[in-house]
Amino acid sequence: MSHQRIQYIGQIKGFAIFLVVNLFKMDVPEKIGNLLSLLGQKSLHIYILQVFFVIQLPIIGEFIIEQNGMTCVVLQSIYSFVLTIIAIVLSLLVSGVLKRSPLLQKLCFGK
């Protein structure tokens, strides 16, 4: 990997750290705060159920790998983000269905 690419990746990481630190300093809008609170409350359900929804799509993976360096990194990031959102949403939907049955809730989540 060239020095220029390593430097660019370092800049991206530095910017990401800067964003995270500043997010904690500012007032988070109420809707975002509520969403993050919900995700925190349902994190056990998401952790257990997401395994069933994480998929590999070899065709997309091969396409991404064939791209040049920076395009490959950007596409991998977008692909990972989209799959993560899908897995979280499906986990929350299934969790809501399982919540209706006390027996299934006890078996799956121990509650």
Over residues 22-81, the pLDDT tens digits come to: 766 666 677 777 887 888 888 888 888 888 887 777 888 888 888 888 888 888 888 888
Over residues 13-26, the pLDDT tens digits come to: 777 777 777 766 66
Residue 5: per-residue pLDDT: 66
Over residues 4-15, the mean pLDDT reads 68
Reported residue count of the chain is 111
Model confidence at 2: pLDDT above 80: no
Range 4-13 contact pairs with CB under 8 angstroms and sequence separation of 24 or more: 5/69, 5/70, 8/70, 9/73
Over residues 100-110, the pLDDT tens digits come to: 888 888 888 88
Using alpha carbons, select from 73, 59, 64 the residue that is nearest to residue 9.
Answer: 73
CA distances from 67 to 15, 73, 75 (A): 24, 9, 9
Q: How many CA atoms, within 13 angstroms, populate the side-chain half-sphere of residue 28?
A: 15
